[in-house]
Chains A and B, each alone.
Chain A
Amino acid sequence: KNEVEQSPQNLTAQEGEFITINCSYSVGISALHWLQQHPGGGIVSLFMLSSGKKKHGRLIATINIQEKHSSLHITASHPRDSAVYICAVRNNTDKLIFGTGTRLQVFP
């Protein structure tokens, strides 16, 4: 079993829909990151969380440390949100562990 699990693996949506991507982890962590990777490979760091909730534009990230779970929400989705979203954690021994990613396609 992977130490970081993401769901769903693939997600399609119509423009304007509310989207949720989930990340569950089984290790103690010091921080969790959400990353966005567009076709071609470039990765953008969206959020870094150690507790609570963060919001940036149409993106919202939450983390529940007790339940070892984080969610990434996209409100009013747009075709330009189409990308792979990756959850990454730094565990308590400073090792970096990545989820396998969620491929999102938003259609006009």
Chain B
Amino acid sequence: KAGVTQTPRYLIKTRGQQVTLSCSPISGHRSVSWYQQTPGQGLQFLFEYFSETQRNKGNFPGRFSGRQFSNSRSEMNVSTLELGDSALYLCASSFSGWGQPQHFGDGTRLSIL
């Protein structure tokens, strides 16, 4: 059974650009969550999607958005990139949310120049 796949693995952007990251969950999983990890702030929750609906959202500005498609694949978009957005972005999938074991992807490392 394939694991959670995140693409791309690495990305370099400049300030002001926008970026879209992709997460393909494990087959059958309907919940996808996104996280940002930085050395200073650690892991922080961005949002959770379940059956194409955003079910929960962390404390991030509106520049961070996401969506989930009918096949449960999810995308995360960050507009008007700032230097502080440099981070490892992780997604995790599960059957129905954090009441179940989470399966994490390897992450996308985003660097802003």
Contacts and interface: CB of A to CB of B under 8 A. Distances in A.
The finding on whether chains A and B are genuine partners in a shared complex, rather than unrelated, reads yes
Contacts of B45: 95-98
B100 interface: yes
Tell me the dominant secondary structure on chain A's binding face: strand
A57 interface: no
Contacts of B109: 41
B99 interface: yes
Interface residues on B, range: 20 to 34
A88 B88 CA distance: 17
Contacts of B103: 45
Contacts of A30: 99
Interface string B62-94: 000000000000000000000000001010100
Interface of A: 30-31, 33, 35, 40-45, 48, 86, 88, 90, 94-101
Interface of B: 33, 37, 42-45, 55-56, 58, 88, 90, 92, 98-104, 106-107, 109
Given A33-B98, A45-B104, A96-B98, 12 more contacts: A31-B98, A41-B37, A41-B106, A41-B109, A42-B106, A43-B92, A43-B104, A45-B102, A48-B100, A95-B56, A98-B44, A99-B42
